[in-house]
């Protein structure tokens, strides 16, 4: 059996890094009173066609969609924001709170060409602030993103921001952009030629040098922004300046989702090569209303976990909880009487490994040594008969017989002495 292309098993030596990201996000988001939320992986397809947009690559090319046995059109979620908006409406979270703050971490699915940092099942950490139209909400979510990155010891990044205005301003700009690009149609890359028909703003994101050269003289979106859009963006910049958060204004930054308005931003890291965006987000004031909910201004972002992992693996040395005690038994009577010993270890939070094979003491001791453990507890016929335990110190090659009541004190005394010995030798 082969694993599906674009998916990946997360094994025990990697899961510690995932847990570190989760714990970091929990710590930072809790400081800002953002609450964790989990939404279903499966949603109705219409949720994404109505929110992300029919003319986007995600909807047209990348979604995993199917018809279930109830003849419903179902999609594996390709991103998190639409599901949060749907949950906000479904659970009527707007009734008791004027502002709702959420964060999430979970798998998303897109049929893309797999490469480093990009999988078909990938994971996103996201933050959503629902209920505030003020630029200070934009500033807060950006600050949370930078705090999480700093906690993960990722400081070599750059923040790019832009204002994409409201729908009317973008439509007016789009007409001007189309008029300009029409005379260069045959010189554009193939993807950009297709986008002329259905999503011209995405041409601004083209990675092709020739297309970017053509765009040098193209109309600029900023020239079509109204007073309110400019004020919102200028105020956000004032907030970022006051927080000493460095940023660059990228007037070609538009993001690939239809629901954005006003603020759009990305955080990039040059350690990742061409796939350098680790975080992207923006404001989506009209999304919830378009899905049948109340008029709710919102802003948020998402980080790609796989891309984060490519960076933090070199910055974080995980502390893994490994057992230091091996429990070897001999005979059925010993196996039946092992549980009081395990209870003591459990109650005192002492990790251990119980041998699950029916091997001799010699083979069990060999395995304990191979695992690099320090203590082996031997329980056989003699120990059962005399109601005691043989404790063998593997590194010192010595052993002693103790009662069950002495076990925890003996382990703790040995651990303290062993740590002091290590400190002296260092």
Determine if residue 62 is labeled as part of a ligand binding site.
Answer: no
Determine if residue 157 is labeled as part of a ligand binding site.
Answer: no
pLDDT tens per residue across span 14-27: 888 999 999 999 99
Determine if residue 80 is labeled as part of a ligand binding site.
Answer: yes
Question: What is the mean pLDDT of each successive set of 10 residues along the chain, which is 426 residues long?
Answer: 91 88 96 96 94 79 93 96 96 85 96 86 96 96 96 91 90 87 85 80 81 86 92 97 95 77 91 79 94 95 93 72 87 90 91 89 91 92 89 91 91 67 40
With H, G, I as helix, E, B as strand and everything else as coil, classify residue 267: strand
Return the closest-CA partner of residue 6 out of 109, 121, 107, 117. 121
Determine if residue 259 is labeled as part of a ligand binding site.
Answer: yes
The vertex-283 CA angle with 277 and 286, nearest 5°, equals: 135
Could you give the count of Cα atoms lying within 13 Å of 100 in the half-sphere of its Cβ?
21
Determine if residue 296 is labeled as part of a ligand binding site.
Answer: no
Sheet with 100-109, edge to edge strand ranges: 35-36, 100-109, 121-130, 298-304, 277-283, 261-268, 158-163, 248-249
Determine if residue 128 is labeled as part of a ligand binding site.
Answer: yes
3-state helix, strand, coil in the chain (%, to 5): 45, 20, 35
pLDDT tens per residue across span 377-421: 999 988 888 889 999 999 888 999 999 899 999 998 887 554 544
- Hey, what domains does the chain have and what are their CATH numbers? 12-165+225-312 (3.30.930.10), 325-425 (3.40.50.800)
pLDDT score at 232: 96
pLDDT score at 53: 76
* Burial class (CB within 10 angstroms; exposed 0-12, middle 13-18, buried 19+) of 203: buried
User: Per this entry, what is the length of the chain?
Assistant: 426
pLDDT score at 422: 39
What tokens were used for 274? 């061409």
Return the closest-CA partner of residue 375 out of 420, 336, 410. 410
With H, G, I as helix, E, B as strand and everything else as coil, classify residue 88: helix
DSSP 338-367: -HHHHHHHHHTT---EE--S---HHHHHHH
Determine if residue 124 is labeled as part of a ligand binding site.
Answer: yes
Determine if residue 45 is labeled as part of a ligand binding site.
Answer: no
Determine if residue 2 is labeled as part of a ligand binding site.
Answer: no
């Amino acid at each position: 059996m082969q694993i599906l292309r674009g998916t990946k098993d997360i094994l025990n030596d990697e899961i510690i890094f995932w847990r570190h990201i989760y714990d970091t996000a929990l710590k930072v988001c809790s400081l800002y009173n953002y609450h964790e939320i989990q939404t279903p992986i499966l949603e109705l397809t219409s949720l994404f066609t109505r929110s992300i947009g029919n003319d986007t690559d995600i909807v047209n090319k990348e979604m995993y969609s199917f018809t279930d046995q109830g003849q419903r059109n179902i999609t594996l979620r390709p991103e998190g924001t639409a599901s949060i908006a749907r949950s906000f409406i479904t659970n009527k979270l707007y009734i008791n709170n004027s502002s709702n703050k959420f964060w999430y971490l979970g798998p998303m699915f897109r049929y893309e060409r797999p490469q480093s940092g990009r999988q078909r099942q990938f994971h996103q950490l996201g933050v959503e602030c629902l209920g505030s139209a003020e630029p200070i909400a934009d500033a807060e979510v950006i600050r949370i993103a930078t705090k999480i990155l700093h906690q993960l010891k990722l400081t070599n990044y750059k923040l790019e921001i832009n204002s994409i205005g409201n729908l009317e301003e973008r439509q007016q700009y789009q007409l001007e952009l189309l008029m300009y690009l029409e005379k260069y149609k045959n010189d554009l890359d193939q993807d950009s030629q297709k986008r002329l028909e259905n999503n011209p703003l995405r041409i601004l994101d083209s990675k092709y040098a020739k297309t970017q050269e053509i765009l040098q003289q193209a109309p600029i979106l900023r020239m079509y922004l109204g007073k309110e859009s400019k004020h919102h963006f200028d105020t956000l910049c004032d907030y970022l300046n006051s927080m000493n958060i460095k940023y660059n204004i990228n007037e070609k930054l538009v993001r690939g989702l239809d629901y954005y308005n006003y603020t759009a931003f990305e955080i990039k890291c040059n350690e990742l090569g061409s796939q350098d965006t680790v975080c992207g987000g923006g404001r989506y004031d009209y999304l919830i209303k378009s899905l049948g909910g109340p008029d709710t201004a919102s802003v948020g972002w998402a980080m790609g976990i796989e891309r984060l992992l490519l960076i933090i693996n070199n910055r974080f040395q995980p502390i893994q909880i490994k057992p230091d005690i091996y429990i070897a038994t001999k005979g059925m009577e010993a196996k039946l009487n092992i549980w009081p010993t395990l209870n003591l270890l459990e109650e005192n939070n002492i990790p251990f490994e119980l041998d699950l094979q029916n091997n001799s003491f010699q083979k069990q001791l060999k395995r304990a040594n191979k695992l690099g453990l320090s203590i082996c507890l031997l329980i056989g016929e003699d120990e059962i008969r005399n109601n005691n335990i043989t404790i063998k110190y593997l590194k010192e090659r010595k052993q002693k017989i103790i009662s069950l009541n002495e076990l925890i004190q003996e382990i703790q005394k040995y651990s303290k002495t062993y740590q002091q010995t290590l400190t002296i030798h260092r």
